[in-house]
Amino acid sequence: MLVTTDHLNLDYTFQGLSVADIEAYAKQRLPETFNAAREQLLSGDYANPSEGRNVTHVLNRSRHSVTAARGGRNRFCEVVRSLRSGKWLGATGKPITDVVNIGVGGSDLGPMMGSFALREFADDNVSHDLQVHFVSSMDGGQLYAVLPIVDPETTLFIIASKSFGTIDTLANVDTVKRWISPQLSESQWLARHVIGVSSNNQAMSQFGIPAGQQLSFADSVGGRFSLWSAIGLPIALTVGANQFSKMLAGAHAMDQHFATAPLTENIPLLLALIGVYNREQRGLNNVAVLPYDGRLRYLPSYLQQLDMESNGKQCDRDGIPIDYPTGPIIWGGFGPNGQHAFFQHLHQGYDAFTADFIAVLHRQAPGFTPAVQEGLAEQQRLAVANCLAHRRLLWFGNGDTYPGQSPTNLLYVDELTPESFGALIAAYEHKVFTQGVIWNINSFDQPGVELGKQIAKEVLAVLDGHSDEHFDESTDNIIKRM
């Protein structure tokens, strides 16, 4: 049960499903409309009915759109070149040494995961060292850590927000504005130390970001699908625009694979059908994501947003309540360390689950002595051995007290490269999309999140003394203590 593509491979042997099982299940669960839906997604024509627009993130990585969006892409590449070469000077004439990406959700998780995963692929033709930091949390916890180690005169902030209205991001930006003085005035800061990345150009202008420092993207690109757009700027700043393009090329190759590979050799389709099978036939409500390469350690959080925000729904595409289970709970963590923490429960605990193991078979270690290179190669083998061992134990068990029979996938790449990374993420995107089609839900909105934001505003108004609204006893009691 092995499926291989240029960049990504799937072994689903330990799902206990044969090719014939998959074919039969696809007949049962894949709607007749699927082929048309897939074509629409890949050409940017798939509808997001509740938000009244199409879904176009795939266009960010297809060759046509790179040409169509040449203006925006040129500015993106210029910004990358200028910052990475040290030519971008701050308001007091010093080169920028640090970039802080302020954004949350899709404006944080994708760029952070990609920058961390691909760091070693940085183009070398850079004259100075640029540090990229990430700040997302509304409580200021990350600002506490970053502000003391950067300097207003040499730091540039990316304000990354599709809507340019997310309170978490605006609150962090507001604190930064207080921090720049006395070294910089607000106008100096805006002129040389801020780049806006958003689909809301008007809000970026109102904020005072010069037009040349605004990078925009289409509002038809959902936040959790936006790392391929200008939101991916931190990745490009880390590795260079060429390597960023290779990541897009890997994702594009996966788009083509998804479009053309037959069902039983189509990785996203198989992942989707196996996932629906586990959810509906085996009653498994959770998936552990277990990367066995430290560079992919942010993958579980990224997939949490991708999958749970897309398919955690209780109404269909027309807004009508449904009575069947939809997207599972996604959780997980870096596999080798998980072995020393939560794996005990996986092996012998009461609750049933499924998991995706993600492995990288080989890793180059240029720049190290031959002895260290050999040590690192041994460590890579050690990690893969542990991945294979735990996967075996989970499936086969070991006597009465290790039940086994936990179905898992193994996704692996020969080497982690920008291309294979792009292909891996695109495969998961298409898995989530396919499941959304199967469950007849809109995978491209997040009404629950919006409702939570509205309630938070009402609570904050009471905390700030602007309202005397009452909630429930518990909430009112805490408010009284603030």
Ligand X SMILES: O=P(O)(O)OC[C@H]1O[C@H](O)[C@H](O)[C@@H](O)[C@@H]1O
Residue 412 is which amino acid? Y
Q: Please say if 340 is a catalytic residue.
A: yes
Whole-angstrom distance, CA of residue 428 vs CA of residue 332:
15
E-only strand ranges, 274-418: 286-291, 329-332, 354-362, 408-415
Q: What are the structure tokens assigned to 419, written together? A: 């291309």
Q: Please say if 177 is a catalytic residue.
A: no
C-beta of 349 vs 452, nearer to ligand X: 452
- On the CB side of 311, CA atoms within 13 Å amount to 30
C-beta of 169 vs 417, nearer to ligand X: 169
C-beta of 24 vs 449, nearer to ligand X: 449
Whole-angstrom distance, CA of residue 15 vs CA of residue 274:
8
- Give Rg (Cα) of the chain: 23
Smallest gap, in angstroms, from Cβ of residue 305 to ligand X?
7
Whole-angstrom distance, CA of residue 267 vs CA of residue 271:
6
C-beta of 136 vs 409, nearer to ligand X: 136
Per the CB < 8 A criterion, the answer to whether 309 and 224 are in contact is yes
Whole-angstrom distance, CA of residue 381 vs CA of residue 258:
31
Among 345, 453, 457, 470, the one annotated catalytic: 453
Q: What are the structure tokens assigned to 163, written together? A: 């809507």
Whole-angstrom distance, CA of residue 236 vs CA of residue 99:
12
C-beta of 208 vs 448, nearer to ligand X: 448
C-beta of 223 vs 291, nearer to ligand X: 223
Smallest gap, in angstroms, from Cβ of residue 104 to ligand X?
5
Smallest gap, in angstroms, from Cβ of residue 324 to ligand X?
24
Whole-angstrom distance, CA of residue 231 vs CA of residue 461:
31
Among 309, 390, 429, 431, the one annotated catalytic: 309
The residues binding ligand X (CB under 6 A) are 104-107, 161-163, 166, 169, 223-224, 309, 446, 449
C-beta of 114 vs 152, nearer to ligand X: 114
Q: What are the structure tokens assigned to 476, written together? A: 């009112």
Phi, psi of 88 (to 5 degrees): -75, 115
Residue 131 is given by DSSP the state E
Smallest gap, in angstroms, from Cβ of residue 346 to ligand X?
29
C-beta of 224 vs 431, nearer to ligand X: 224
CB contact set of 230 (below 8 Å; sequence gap of 6+)? 72, 76, 197, 215, 216, 217
C-beta of 106 vs 418, nearer to ligand X: 106
Q: First and final CA of the chain: distance in angstroms?
A: 58
Q: Please say if 313 is a catalytic residue.
A: no
Q: Which residue carries 């502000």 as its tokens?
A: 147
**Among all residues, which ones are annotated catalytic?**
309, 340, 453
